[in-house]
Amino acid sequence: MSRSWERKVQKNRAQLNRQRKKQGHSGFTKNGIVVSGDTYKGRKFVFPIVLILLAILYGLLGWASSTLPDQENQSSPMMTWFVVAAYIVLGVIIYLRRPYLLVNKDNLQTTKLNRVRTISASEIARIKVKSGSVVIEPKAKGSNWVFTRLINRYDIKAMGERLEQFAKANNIHFEK
């Protein structure tokens, strides 16, 4: 975008945010997404550790196979180290991308398989909160949304309290 166009967009966004603030709504961010509600962030650490361990194993096997005597190298050592580096980079990226649960007034939002998923309150059958996990069951066919302390390091207690308020406000069956 040209600079003049960016200035126009920024000016219009600021004007729209002022109007929305007067009406009691939240404003738009730079990328145009309305942000409101409570966000609970976790941290993925199991899968990145597995990827990095696989990279180390693959690197050790590649190094060991290249040092064997009287053996023709059938694979390039450059390709081996490229794959090791790719696994490590993928592990770091997955570690840095934090999973989250965004609780709005009438819907929930999270990322599943690298896509933003939203479920409205009318589509939720029940919410179960256990000691180490939160399970959100949709009414329609589909998989449950499971948030655990063990795998993704969510604050289950705080999430459970907020989801209990969400369930009461939207008449959703809540189990503790």
pLDDT band at residue 33 under the 50/70/90 scheme: low
Q: How far apart are CA 160 and CA 110, in angstroms?
A: 16
User: Which are the contacts of 131, defined by CB distance < 8 A and separation ≥ 6?
Assistant: 156
What mean pLDDT value characterizes the chain?
86
Q: Is residue 62 within 8 Å of 84, Cβ to Cβ? A: yes
- The reported pLDDT for the residue numbered 1 is 61
Tens digits of per-residue pLDDT, 66-97?
777 666 656 677 888 999 999 999 999 999 99
Q: How far apart are CA 147 and CA 39, in angstroms?
A: 13
With 70 as the cut, is the pLDDT of residue 113 above it? yes
